[in-house]
Structure 1
Amino acid sequence: MAELATVARPYAEALYQVARQGDVAVWVEQVSALAQVAENAELRQFAGSPKVSAEQVYDVVAAAAGVSLSTGVQHFLRTVIDNGRLAVLPAIAVQFNALVNAASGVADAAIFSAYPIEPAQLAEVVAALEQRFGRKLSVNVTLEPELIGGIRVVVGDEVLDTSVKARLERMKVALSA
């Protein structure tokens, strides 16, 4: 995994340098769409076939992305494909998003919840988490029923686990000690 990150870093940094000259949000949307497409194993197998040209791969990926690509993103995608790095595209997108977030003072937060969170509740939770972590958060909520109740929040390398599952595990450890 470290190898992917190492390969992705220069692409992400170069992409960010170009993107910040324009509308970064548009670039984030387009690169994220391309990354989702590049995660498809069948597409990567298609791209790796010696019978398929780089232009054909580009056409398929660009069409599958479902968004209109700006000229800069088109050039980026062609470079990635020409260099045989389509499999690295998701890692590039992750690092690119991290650079964008770092520049804007925002951190990604993954919220895992046992139950769906209503928008009003989510706004309250996000406000409390932003105060707790001391920075603006870009949240992604994922349902995880095995938590039983409560939430688990991951921001960078910090984890805040207030789930029932975590409390039960702590009780189990305390009782068995």
Structure 2
Amino acid sequence: MAELHTIARPYAQAAFALAREGNALPSWGAALQLAVAVVTDVKVAATLDNPRLTADDKAALVLSICGDKLGAEQRNFLRVLIDADRVALLPQIRTQFLELKDEAEGVAKARIESAFPMTDGQLAELAGVLEKRFGRRIETTVVVDPALIGGARITVGDTVVDGTVQAQLQAMARDLRA
């Protein structure tokens, strides 16, 4: 998986550079989303895997399905991926593109795992605290997990703040075994 991530990186960076240069980050995000939906469709993916099809045939198929929803640069980008036999990397390319976009726009994603549902007020207060701590606008995703017993686990990028009762009990058990 890390290898695919590494191979996808230069393509994502190229797409991001083109999008930023053309002041078209939203349209590139939408174009990549469309392209991912097309190439991950079961029937399209099976057709693209057919070794008898040429790159021209594959490009014609994908671009015809996308229709006029893609600009010239976006069509060329897809053509490059198809010619290089890298179209299967589109999901990873899109993910990395969105990460670059968020970074450029000063946005960080926070995953909040809580033992109980949070009110809108609690979520807004927590997002405000996280924005101050990370110096970025925070977009939150909340997951309710009763196994946490109480508290919350917050993940922003590579940073994890685990204030769950489950984590405290695990730490206590570890200390008692030592």
TM band (smaller chain): 0.7 to 0.9
User: What is the aligned partner in structure 2 of residue 103 from structure 1?
Assistant: 104
Question: Does 1:56 find its partner at 2:61?
Answer: yes
CA-to-aligned-CA distance 1:66-91 (integer Å, 9 cap, x gap): xx444433333333233221221121
Cα distance, 1:16 vs structure 2 = 0.8
- Which has the greater radius of gyration? 2
The runs of at least 4 aligned residues of structure 1 exceeding 4 Å deviation read 36-43
Q: Compute the TM-score of the two structures, normalised by the length of structure 2.
A: 0.77
Unaligned regions of 5+ residues in structure 2, if any?
A: none
Q: Compute the TM-score of the two structures, normalised by the length of structure 1.
A: 0.77
Q: Is the CA contact 1:38–1:90 (under 8 Å) kept in the aligned structure 2?
A: no
User: What is the aligned partner in structure 2 of residue 5 from structure 1?
Assistant: 5
Percent pairwise identity: 40
Question: Does 1:159 find its partner at 2:160?
Answer: yes
Give matches, 1:80-119, under 5 Å.
80-119=81-120
Q: 1:39 to 1:114 in 2, by over 3 A?
A: farther
Question: Within 2, Cα distance between the matches of 1:156 and 1:77?
Answer: 29
User: What is the aligned partner in structure 2 of residue 140 from structure 1?
Assistant: 141
Cα distance, 1:118 vs structure 2 = 3.5
Q: 1:159 to 1:17 in 2, by over 3 A?
A: same
Letter in 1 for 2:133: R
Over aligned residues, Cα RMSD in angstroms? 2.9
User: What is the aligned partner in structure 1 of residue 172 from structure 2?
Assistant: 171
Question: Within 2, Cα distance between the matches of 1:112 and 1:38?
Answer: 32
Paired positions, count: 173
